Structure 1
């Protein structure tokens, strides 16, 4: 089964309680939707990409510091909820530790958007107004270049969009940011 967007959001809220974790999953979900739109995916594929993004870290509050369990616990949750094996496999591919081949646009996008979400969230939290709607492409790109900002975020992972998705960094960040700004506000 591939849930619709509302069902995916319900699942997210059922398993993820911490606001920062919810924000991360929402950024990735809406970011994936933005990339799917940019790549001119049909509505069914856009839904699939959104769902993969929103649910990619559904186990974030379960695995603690054991990254080896990340996505394995998630797989159990998603299987229990009746989600399709293909969707689960696409989601699992974003965890490098599992060594799952990235061999499709959705897998490359999820990996890159996951990293970009760290820059976007950190940038918004440092703003006095915490307003993602005021975030601009040039500001996010500046933070990507600043290696002292959100140091644990892989810039190479973000920039992989150029080779793997054939998108410029500007188009990639802009597509993610546009959808995030339209759909999310931080508390």
Structure 2
């Protein structure tokens, strides 16, 4: 199976928008954090995070389905492809998150976008001083980062058996661990 560097190169091959590449890197960092925390395969989980929106820029009408074909062509296994598909459950796929990796991706995708938006409006422009309380406050403001589906975040936390505060805290920690690469230092 291709490694993390291969996945990052593939993400950049299909996405010219730096924000989409950065989002993939951020979700990958969150996935790596959760994998480590749960004693899972850190590289596999990170790859799933990196590639979850692989096809979004070039093939938005075929989101996930085109990515599955590309990933299959590049030698990714069914578990990795299925996990990628599950992040868009109920939106453009019917692949319900079942494994811990799938549920984690479902939970952190939208939330990492909200955390990133919170960083951008901070005076420091850094995740290093971002608190759960600040994110929770913005979470309640529907107009802030309006593209973030709060219901998916709630459902994801529930799937993982986590309180919303705990999920937010772990996403912050995951991005903080790789703040420089995530563009939130």
Shorter-chain TM-score above 0.5: yes
1:135 corresponds to:
130
Q: CA deviation at 1:17?
A: 2.0
1:16 corresponds to:
15
Query: For 1:168 and 1:27, how far apart are their aligned partners in 2?
Result: 21
Secondary structure of the residue that 2:145 maps to in structure 1? coil
Query: For 1:109 and 1:150, how far apart are their aligned partners in 2?
Result: 21
Q: Deviations over 1:132-163 (max 9, x none)?
A: 33322221122112222112212121122442
CA contact (8 A) 1:161 1:169 kept: no
Once the two structures are overlaid, the 10-residue window that deviates more, 88-97 or 50-59, is 88-97
Query: For 2:34 and 2:151, how far apart are their aligned partners in 1?
Result: 18
Aligned residues: 180
Q: CA deviation at 1:105?
A: 1.6
Query: For 1:144 and 1:37, how far apart are their aligned partners in 2?
Result: 26
Q: CA deviation at 1:58?
A: 0.9
Query: For 2:102 and 2:7, how far apart are their aligned partners in 1?
Result: 18
Distance 1:37 1:6, change over 3 A: same
Q: Which of 120, 123, 132 pairs up with 2:118?
A: 123
Task: Give unpaired runs (5+ residues) of structure 1.
Answer: none
Query: For 2:18 and 2:129, how far apart are their aligned partners in 1?
Result: 20
Q: CA deviation at 1:74?
A: 0.7
1:73 corresponds to:
66
Query: For 2:157 and 2:111, how far apart are their aligned partners in 1?
Result: 13
Query: For 1:15 and 1:63, how far apart are their aligned partners in 2?
Result: 9
Q: CA RMSD of the aligned region, Å? A: 1.9
Secondary structure of the residue that 1:98 maps to in structure 2? coil
Q: CA deviation at 1:165?
A: 0.8
4+ aligned runs moved over 3 Å, structure 1: none
TM-score for both structures, normalised by structure 1: 0.86
Q: Which of 75, 85, 97 pairs up with 1:82?
A: 75
TM-score for both structures, normalised by structure 2: 0.87
CA contact (8 A) 1:35 1:172 kept: no
CA contact (8 A) 1:33 1:47 kept: yes
Task: Give unpaired runs (5+ residues) of structure 2.
Answer: none
Secondary structure of the residue that 2:167 maps to in structure 1? helix
Q: Which of 51, 57, 81 pairs up with 2:53?
A: 57
2:149 corresponds to:
154
Query: For 2:174 and 2:115, how far apart are their aligned partners in 1?
Result: 12
